Structure 1
Amino acid sequence: MSSGLNILQIDIVSDVVCPWCVIGYRQLATALEASGMPHEIHWHPFELNPNMPVQGQNLREHVAEKYGTSKQQSQDSRIQMTEAAAQVGFEFNFSDDMRMHNTFNVHQLLHWADQFGRMHDLKQALFSAHFTDGKNLSDINVLADVAAEIGLERSDALAVLTDQRFASDVRVAQQFWLDQGIQGVPAVVFNRRHLVTGAQGVENYSRILKQLAEESA
């Protein structure tokens, strides 16, 4: 079964409404491409706001309530994140009416997509839907549309979200990572041994990958 190559196992615990999750992933992906290391990425669910109501909340209001952030601090943060994202080829389009969403349905849809080997593709499409296109991820019809855009069956996606058939599976997966002590995202685990949290930057990820390559050699 072995190809003789050491394949780096990468588990990423994240939420699609987490800006540093997409920035961190893009930074890691850039470092991985430069390194040429064979690797496998597995995404895992985490809800930033499990108690968020179905209709969501204005993002600026949410950030102010949750973190005590002033309007100026919020604006400064948006500029910083937009610039960091642009450096790794991702576009943020923050607006005054942008909303924070409850993402439990999002994680169920990702779980379903994994059955077809498309979780990674759907994850990227959802990042773009939220941060670039400002789509309403609280709406199951919007989620089904995003699934359809990457070639998955829209009616099946809608059925999954309507009957909540994967709700318990997602809860179990979320609890597993909470039990491992993951309290914030992004959380990246290399070879199920080395935990790295936050968006580290391309340079730091490159250094980490080099150390891992030396270790496996």
Structure 2
Amino acid sequence: MASSDPRPIVQIDIVSDVVCPWCIVGFRQLDLALQQQNVLAKLRWHPFELNPTMPPEGQNLREHIAEKYGSTPAQSQQARDHLTQLGDELGFRFNFDDDSRIVNTFAAHQLLGWAEAQGRQHPLKLALFEAYFTNQRDVSKTDVLLDAVQAAGLDRDAARAALESGTHVAPTRDKQQFWTSRGISGVPSMVFGGKYLLTGAQGTDTYEQALQRCLTEAA
């Protein structure tokens, strides 16, 4: 059935990882831009692993940031404070502490691919962001993933079966390769209208400009 909503629709593809804080910040900025421009989005989330070789036990987040980026404890705390403030301004709660961990996200991406076929990918993505950043849960654990599935209105047993079957392993790898082969090396990366790429959390004003460009061309 066709939508009766008269607002224009812009397709937006978002390459993202569920443990990337800037991905939820960028989405919240985008969502605000959509509201301010009175535009609907056809959103599709695509997989990207910040740490594809992360072992099952994960790693302390502060230690990981120090190893990967050379950040000092003071710089790490400053970044956390900045993210927390940004999140508060955008209506999203970041909770960091000394025990926060970075974890493997490949299973989460498999479930997001499965959820797309169920028409519930977006709610699951948001539930995973909340589970990891707000509730400090380990989104590499099956029970945590299934709790997010349930919160997104999806069937828990069907999701477990999808994971255990392994049928989403190869498609998820293929999707990752598709984007990395096209030069995507950081997230969030958003493609507006299939044409215009913005990488990083660019801010509400920049997203409004991208939306307007798409609408102008469509008109």
The equivalent residue for 1:105 is: 107
Conserved? CA contact 2:9–2:42, under 8 Å:
yes
* Partners of 1:126 and 1:5 in 2: CA distance: 28
Q: How far does residue 73 in structure 1 lie from its aligned partner after superposition?
A: 0.3
* Partners of 1:130 and 1:109 in 2: CA distance: 15
The equivalent residue for 1:204 is: 206
Return the letter of the residue paired with 1:31. A
Conserved? CA contact 1:47–1:103, under 8 Å:
yes
The equivalent residue for 1:114 is: 116
The equivalent residue for 2:217 is: 215
The equivalent residue for 1:70 is: 72
Q: How far does residue 156 in structure 1 lie from its aligned partner after superposition?
A: 1.7
Task: Check if 1:179 corresponds to 2:176.
Answer: no
TM-score, structure 1 as length reference = 0.95
1:185-196 map, 5 Å: 185-196=187-198
* Partners of 1:14 and 1:93 in 2: CA distance: 20
* Partners of 1:14 and 1:134 in 2: CA distance: 19
The equivalent residue for 2:155 is: 153
SS at match of 1:44: strand
Task: Check if 1:12 corresponds to 2:10.
Answer: no
1:65-144 map, 5 Å: 65-144=67-146
Q: CA RMSD in A?
A: 1.7
The equivalent residue for 1:47 is: 49
* Partners of 2:100 and 2:115 in 1: CA distance: 26
* Partners of 2:14 and 2:207 in 1: CA distance: 14
Conserved? CA contact 1:141–1:158, under 8 Å:
no
Gaps of 5+ in 1: none
TM-score, structure 2 as length reference = 0.94
Q: Could you give the per-residue CA deviations for residues 170-191 of structure 1, whole angstroms, max 9, x where no partner exists?
A: 0001100011110000000011
Aligned length: 217
SS at match of 2:46: strand
SS at match of 2:144: helix
Task: Check if 1:35 corresponds to 2:37.
Answer: yes
* Partners of 2:77 and 2:84 in 1: CA distance: 11
Gaps of 5+ in 2: none
Return the letter of the residue paired with 1:68. G
* Partners of 1:125 and 1:5 in 2: CA distance: 26
Q: How far does residue 5 in structure 1 lie from its aligned partner after superposition?
A: 7.4
Q: Could you give the per-residue CA deviations for residues 156-213 of structure 1, whole angstroms, max 9, x where no partner exists?
A: 2122222322000100011000111100000000111100010011122122222332
* Partners of 1:42 and 1:166 in 2: CA distance: 17
SS at match of 1:152: coil
Return the letter of the residue paired with 1:22. I
Conserved? CA contact 1:130–1:136, under 8 Å:
yes
SS at match of 2:215: helix
Range 139-148 or range 105-114, more displaced: 139-148
Return the letter of the residue paired with 1:29. D
% same residue: 50
Q: Could you give the per-residue CA deviations for residues 8-62 of structure 1, whole angstroms, max 9, x where no partner exists?
A: 1110000000000000000001000111123211110000000100111111111
* Partners of 2:71 and 2:165 in 1: CA distance: 38
